[in-house]
Amino acid sequence: MTEMRTAAQLYTVREYTDTPEEIAETLKKVRDMGYKAVQVSGFGPIEPESLKELTADLGLEICATHVSYDRLKNDLDSLVKEHKMWDCKYVGIGAMPGKFQGSKEGFVKFAREASEIGKELQKQDLQLIYHNHNFEFVKFDGSTGLEILFRESDPEALDFELDTYWVQAGGGDPIHWINKAAGRMKVVHFKDMGMDLEEGQIMTEIGEGNLNWSGIIEACEQTGVKWCAVEQDVCRRSPFESLKISLDFLKKQGVSV
């Protein structure tokens, strides 16, 4: 059983990371609330060396990233150098480009293309990971898009970064999919789902919604997940407050920081 650690997915606070000065301030706030690791995503422009310096000074690990598919295809050498500099093994794709999403053939093509990129990253001791939304649960000839990705990708070259909210939103069972990803997932996105009388289905802080967190955490620990990255795309309060509420809940569940 792996001891899983918590990280802050910085996409949650993307509105406060448009400049290097804002990034520095945001990273300090995240560290001060108790996080010791972050996932880099949705940043404004900053030199990779500056980001390394900021995180090192604060004692923050960069556990994973989200990068554009275009950079993976056309700027791989630079991505490798950045991730090596940051001591970050997990290179994430936030979503497949829209051109792949509408057909079984598109999912198959993406799975195979991503696998080839993943093989190149593995040569550099890096791991490509794929983050799902709900569109991957559309079925094609009886199989969901996510099932196609699992089946058609190289299990060594492409890992997954399941998002608990989006799995549930697609009609899937997060615990089932975490177990299915055993051996192919070291980073997971923790995001809760609740209901509002007026808005209907909403994203909430971890523990404020209705997902089965004791079961989700247990499944992650049993399948070897190393990092749970707390993400909340839409917050109904300050996103910094949301990150803190989620962290405090996970600490009470025994998840390490």
What is the pTM for the complete model shown? 0.97
Find the helix or strand (DSSP H, E) in which 139 lies.
strand 139-140
**Residue of 13, 61, 20, 14 whose CA lies nearest to 240:** 13
- List, in order, residues 6 or more apart from 173 with CB less than 8 Å away: 167
Distance CA 244, CA 250 (A): 10
Distances (CA, A) of 158 to 61, 85, 224, 240: 22, 22, 16, 32
Q: Can you name the CATH fold of 5-252?
A: TIM Barrel (3.20.20)
Per-residue model confidence (pLDDT) at position 44: 87
Contact 193, 211 (CB under 8 A): yes
196-223 pLDDT, tens digit each: 999 999 999 999 999 999 999 999 999 9
State the 10-residue block means of pLDDT for the chain, 257 residues long: 90 97 98 98 94 98 98 98 98 98 98 98 98 98 98 98 98 98 98 97 98 98 98 97 98 96
Tokens linked to 29? 């706030």
Whether 92 and 122 have beta carbons less than 8 Å apart is answered as no
CA distance 119 to 125: 10
Residue partners of 67: CB distance under 8 A and separation at least 6: 79, 91, 92, 93
